[in-house]
Amino acid sequence: MSDRIIKIPNGMIFLFIVVLIYGVSALTEPDFVAGAFGNFLVTFSKVLPILLIVYLVMFFSFVFVKPEMVKRQLGRNSGIKGWVYAIIGSIVISGPSYVLFPLLGELRKEGMKYSLIAVFMSNRNVQLAYLPVIAYYFGWRFSFVFAFYVLAFSLLTGMLMGKVMRGK
Amino acid sequence: MKIATQKTFQTVKTSLPIVVGILMLLSYLGPILEKYYSKVFTGNYIIDPLVGALAGSVSFGIPVASYVTGGELLKAGVSLLAVTAFIFSWTTVGIPMLPLEAAHLGKKFAIIRNAINFVAAILIAILTILTLKII
């Protein structure tokens, strides 16, 4: 009998709760909820192309990247090269961390080190694509000083995470 | 090719509902939190980066949006110290994203990484402003 019970994924439960919040709020604040949903649609339309690219990259990584390759470049014995690849990857690959979690999760299964995942995720602010926007608002001097510290701290975070997650 | 398609579909199935839910939650909370931004950033050299990092942690989203929001806050009179911590924590610390990160990378990794990046946001903000004052 228990085999017939369908397990609802956690993600679907979470989505259902959020939809419920919208639904309940709409009863008392319909304009606010309409505005929030409008904002969501705008944001989602911006995120969707990034998500599609990420899923596409994932698909090709599943096709071409072999576990042995990842283990060699970003795995336990990747050395300095692995750190360099993680930094370059984080600068080149744009998008928020949450769209990259699935990709990083899969790379982790293939042997990517926790320290390098931490480096990758701590460098989300240093991306070529966003440089013009940062410079526009904060100036080039700020952009370079900020980028320097972000890079330095990403390495520090990576080292700390490597120690904390040792054996995992 | 078939295995790659199956693996990709499985990942889409796991992550897409969470991403949609998170974006909906942020869109809902965004206007509520926005009202408080100008009130909590008072210009205090010690409290500002802490408040900036806290605000950025719950406002997790697209990096480019953090620069636009941070830039607009700066124009509105919020200190650069607070805004720097805010834009860093926006992209690297994600309280609403913890379930998604934990699902893919493990609970321990997600909690510790976010905690480290939270502290880093405060330190980066202080160091950036101090450096800008020197050079």
H, E, C per residue of chain A: CHHHCCCCCHHHHHHHHHHHHHHHHHHHCHHHHHHHHHHHHHHHHHHHHHHHHHHHHHHHHHHHCCHHHHHHHHCCCCHHHHHHHHHHHHHHCCCCHHHHHHHHHHHHHCCCCHHHHHHHHHCCCCCHHHHHHHHHHHCHHHHHHHHHHHHHHHHHHHHHHHHHCCCC
Out of A82-86, A116-120, A161-165, B37-41, pick the least confident. B37-41
What would the mean pLDDT of B44-58 be, rounded to a whole number? 88
What pLDDT digit, counting tens, does each position of A125-140 carry? 887 667 777 888 899 9
Q: Do B92 and A122 touch (CB under 8 A)?
A: yes
pLDDT in the model for residue A28: 95
Alpha-carbon gap: A86 to the closest alpha carbon of chain B (Å): 16
What would the mean pLDDT of B32-44 be, rounded to a whole number? 71
Contacts with B, A 104-123, CB within 8 Å: 104-106, 108, 114, 117-118, 121-122
pLDDT, chain B, mean: 84
What pLDDT digit, counting tens, does each position of B120-130 carry? 999 999 999 99
Spatial neighbors of B88 by CB under 8 A, at least 6 apart, are A125, A150, B53, B56, B117, B120, B121, B124, B125
Alpha-carbon gap: B64 to the closest alpha carbon of chain A (Å): 6
- Residue A149 pLDDT grade (very low, low, confident, very high; cuts 50, 70, 90): very high
A167 pLDDT exceeds 70?
A: no
Alpha-carbon gap: B52 to the closest alpha carbon of chain A (Å): 15
Q: Do B7 and A62 touch (CB under 8 A)?
A: yes
Beta-carbon neighbour count of residue B51 at 10 Å?
A: 23
Give the residue extent of every domain in chain B: 2-134
What pLDDT digit, counting tens, does each position of A23-67 carry? 999 999 999 999 999 988 988 887 788 778 777 877 887 787 665
User: Which residue of A115, A149, A161, A168 is the best one to mutate when testing the B interface, meaning the one whose CB has the most B CBs within 10 A?
Assistant: A149
Whether the complex's predicted ipTM surpasses the cut of 0.90: no
Which is higher by pLDDT, B120 or B100?
A: B120
User: Which residue of A42, A65, A121 is the best one to mutate when testing the B interface, meaning the one whose CB has the most B CBs within 10 A?
Assistant: A121
Q: Do A125 and B61 touch (CB under 8 A)?
A: no
Q: Do A98 and B101 touch (CB under 8 A)?
A: yes
pLDDT in the model for residue B109: 94
B61 pLDDT exceeds 80?
A: no
- Residue B114 pLDDT grade (very low, low, confident, very high; cuts 50, 70, 90): very high
A96 pLDDT exceeds 70?
A: no
Share of chain B above pLDDT 90, in %: 34
pLDDT in the model for residue A49: 80
A109 pLDDT exceeds 70?
A: yes
| C-alpha atoms less than 13 angstroms from C-alpha of B59 in its C-beta half-sphere | 29
The conformation of residue B59, written as its DSSP 8-state character, comes to S
What pLDDT digit, counting tens, does each position of A1-17 carry? 445 566 777 778 889 99
Task: Give the count of Cβ contacts less than 8 A between chain A and B.
Answer: 208
Spatial neighbors of B126 by CB under 8 A, at least 6 apart, are B49, B81
B84 pLDDT exceeds 90?
A: yes
Q: Do B120 and A47 touch (CB under 8 A)?
A: no
Q: Do B8 and A164 touch (CB under 8 A)?
A: no
Of A15, A59, A104, the CB nearest to B104: A104
What pLDDT digit, counting tens, does each position of B13-27 carry? 877 887 788 778 878
